[in-house]
Structure 1
Amino acid sequence: MTKPSLCLVTPALADANNGNWQTAHRWARWLAGHYEVRVVKSWPDARTADDGTDLLLALHARRSAASVAAWAQAHPDKPLVLALTGTDLYRDIRTDASAQRSLALAHRLIVLQERAPLALPEAHRAKCHVVFQSSTRRQTLDKTREHLRVVVVGHLREEKSPETVFEAARLLSPDEGILIDHIGNALDPALGELARATAAACPHYRWLGSQPHEATRRRIQRAHLLVHPSRMEGGAHVIMEAVLSGTPVLASHMDGNLGMLGPDYGGYFPVGDAAALVARLRECRRDIAGDGGALAALQAQCSARAPLFEPTTERAALLRALAGPRQDPIP
């Protein structure tokens, strides 16, 4: 039997090495058993004239807005599914007309964590499906008691709040036994300069730049903690990768992180509050020299969330979202 044809539009291809590309690549691989899938940066593309595409799945309301509008005009009766990012939910759909239009044109919406529907206008929530992202489980490694190893993963851009990490590093003394590795490319050159300056001033802080995905996962495995200080987030890959590696998370108290870790998680600090982050890091540093109770409690909470991030869970939720009832566009 011929499989239906699906075009997956993503503004980030493999060379971007970011969360959007990881999502697109994983979804394309899984959907290949159910659809004839092609991944493109925009629609229409070179195969539009004769490919008979049955469904468009677009990532990012603003950056894929032209593709969404073109599909809606060319194929008003064919399904249009839109997956929303953090910048969509917490910035663009509030202020950007093209993102708002994408939201209205979509027949179904996909969001990546459980608090995301609350960010949508009420009229759009009925067509919203929560699809938690997933990754593979990794062995939980034994950790040294000699120092606290911390990893931060995220390209240097304003939404990820790397300044919180820089300030935290400067508040710590080199002899406190708290070592921070910061992974991510400098998408904002000014933030790259701040990272270099912080590394020069703080021997306990290293900026490692962009790293291959596998190398990043190994560093997450070896760390006592993942720190995720974002100001704006749709549902971070690195959080679920840490959870599935048995590595607890310290995260900023904002909706994207709350929707991943749950409202009762014990590892939050206020957004942008470097002093509060440092206090949590010092608490964990004291903890590894003692009985490990606080870190163990965070790890147990993360383990309880881990089933949400299993590949079988994500695959089933994604297929339900694509096959779900059609919701007419909202004028």
Structure 2
Amino acid sequence: MNFLILFPDNKKAVTGNFCSALQYERILESLGNNVELINKYDNQEAEVLIAINADKNNSDIRKFHTDNPKSKIILILSGTDIYPCPSNRAIDSMEISNVLVLLQSQAFNQVPEKYRKKSSVIHQSIERLKLDSQALKSDSEFKVVLISNIRPVKDPLIAPRACQMIPASSKLKITHVGYCLDSKFEDLLFKESKNNDRYEWIGGRSVLETRTILSQSDLLLITSQHEGAGRVVGEAVQLEVPIISTNNDGVMGVLGEEYEGYYPVGDVEALTALLIKAEKDKSFLEHLNLQCKNKKTLFSVEEETKAWSEIINDLFV
């Protein structure tokens, strides 16, 4: 079967959408399909279009639907498609799609009720990479990593603000990995890196470099106001790195509402308190890690491949 995977292009950064497109390509090819990745629909033919991002790709999704009335459309709903609420363009894409794929269970609440029957949750699996194991965790530093491209929805300034409230006796250091997608933050974060001993923004890195930094960290920090699901959650769970996150639906839909590493969106005092507790209280950190480990099965490549196989088979019944 011939598939097109349509995803938003961003030449400035390695994005979650790009990583998802590559992952879906690998899975579909493993199931014996022909796959082409595209940033724009230009009259290519396919039996199935998989579109990542309902809002940004709406015009291309509608054009494909018009040009290929017998073909099927699978729509992957990203975080910006459903949070804080779907746009008219996103809803139009939902209307003409055959299947909506959600990346975590709480996303159902954001999908208009009339489209929920054609919605399915597929957790994104995490492939194991061969990582550099030479640089190991050290007692000389409590390493926290923030992996997030820089834009307003990620609340990028809260991490350096929290660093300024950490006691002098702490060994905590936050390393921020991510491309700057909003220029108004660039100078601010450069200044923080220069003047704030506990915070360092190192810019974007390759998938392998980023995963290696994560593997050598004591804690993953997620500061997003809204999140679709966050691939990095699965990466941290697989690597057994505990997580502190905002209580956003995307992360809660993966780790569960009972997870104890959440803080309210934008609450720098609550974030600071959690960071201090994670560094000082080893039993708390171990408890968070255990809660994360219990979610490992969600990120199985075999389970995601099986889910995709079932959706494709059901499309043509």
Give yes or no for TM over 0.5.
yes
Tell me if structure 1 keeps the 8 A contact 2:12–2:181.
Answer: no
* 2:82 maps to 1:89: yes
Residue 275 of structure 2 is matched in structure 1 by 281
In structure 2, what residue type is equivalent to 1:135?
A: I
Residue 31 of structure 1 is matched in structure 2 by 28
TM-score normalized by structure 1?
0.89
Residue 227 of structure 1 is matched in structure 2 by 221
Residue segments in structure 2 that go unaligned for 5+ positions in a row: none
The runs of at least 4 aligned residues of structure 1 exceeding 4 Å deviation read 137-142
Residue 148 of structure 2 is matched in structure 1 by 154
Tell me if structure 2 keeps the 8 A contact 1:148–1:284.
Answer: no
Residue 179 of structure 2: SS of its match in structure 1?
A: coil
Q: 1:56 aligns with which of 27, 49, 56?
A: 49
Q: Spell out the pairing of 1:42-191 with structure 2 (5 A cutoff).
A: 42-45=40-43, 48=44, 52-91=45-84, 93=86, 96-137=87-128, 143-173=137-167, 175-191=169-185
Question: How far apart are the structure 2 equivalents of 1:254 and 1:149?
Answer: 23
Tell me if structure 1 keeps the 8 A contact 2:13–2:179.
Answer: no
Question: How far apart are the structure 1 equivalents of 2:247 and 2:63?
Answer: 38
Residues 204-239 of structure 1 show CA distances to partners (whole Å, capped at 9, x for unaligned) of: 111101111111111111111000010111010111
In structure 2, what residue type is equivalent to 1:80?
A: I
* 2:16 maps to 1:19: yes
In structure 2, what residue type is equivalent to 1:218?
A: T
Residue 244 of structure 1: SS of its match in structure 2?
A: helix
Residue 171 of structure 1: SS of its match in structure 2?
A: coil
Q: Spell out the pairing of 1:172-321 with structure 2 (5 A cutoff).
A: 172-173=166-167, 175-287=169-281, 292-321=282-311
Residues 36-68 of structure 1 show CA distances to partners (whole Å, capped at 9, x for unaligned) of: 1101011124xx2xxx41111110001111111
Question: How many residue pairs end up in the alignment?
Answer: 313
* 2:30 maps to 1:41: no
Tell me if structure 2 keeps the 8 A contact 1:152–1:183.
Answer: yes
Residue 175 of structure 2: SS of its match in structure 1?
A: strand
Residue 9 of structure 1 is matched in structure 2 by 6
Question: How far apart are the structure 1 equivalents of 2:10 and 2:200?
Answer: 28
In structure 2, what residue type is equivalent to 1:8?
A: I
Residue 150 of structure 1: SS of its match in structure 2?
A: strand
Q: 1:322 aligns with which of 304, 312, 316?
A: 312
Question: How far apart are the structure 1 equivalents of 2:161 and 2:114?
Answer: 41
Query: Which stretch shifts more, 278-287 or 165-174?
Result: 165-174
In structure 1, what residue type is equivalent to 2:22?
A: H
Aligned-pair CA distance for 1:166: 2.3
In structure 2, what residue type is equivalent to 1:120?
A: V
Aligned-pair CA distance for 1:261: 0.9
Tell me if structure 1 keeps the 8 A contact 2:4–2:35.
Answer: yes
TM-score normalized by structure 2?
0.93
In structure 1, what residue type is equivalent to 2:270?
A: A
Aligned-pair CA distance for 1:97: 2.2
Question: How far apart are the structure 1 equivalents of 2:312 and 2:106?
Answer: 20
Query: Which stretch shifts more, 67-76 or 135-144?
Result: 135-144
Question: How far apart are the structure 2 equivalents of 1:222 and 1:128?
Answer: 37
Aligned-pair CA distance for 1:318: 2.2
Question: How far apart are the structure 2 equivalents of 1:321 and 1:119?
Answer: 21
Aligned-pair CA distance for 1:201: 2.3
Question: How far apart are the structure 1 equivalents of 2:122 and 2:34?
Answer: 21
Question: How far apart are the structure 2 equivalents of 1:312 and 1:185?
Answer: 31
Tell me if structure 2 keeps the 8 A contact 1:54–1:79.
Answer: yes
Residues 133-187 of structure 1 show CA distances to partners (whole Å, capped at 9, x for unaligned) of: 1213478997433331100000110111112212112222554211110011111
Question: How far apart are the structure 2 equivalents of 1:326 and 1:36?
Answer: 17
In structure 2, what residue type is equivalent to 1:161?
A: D
The alignment's C-alpha RMSD in Å is 2.0
Question: How far apart are the structure 2 equivalents of 1:29 and 1:326?
Answer: 21
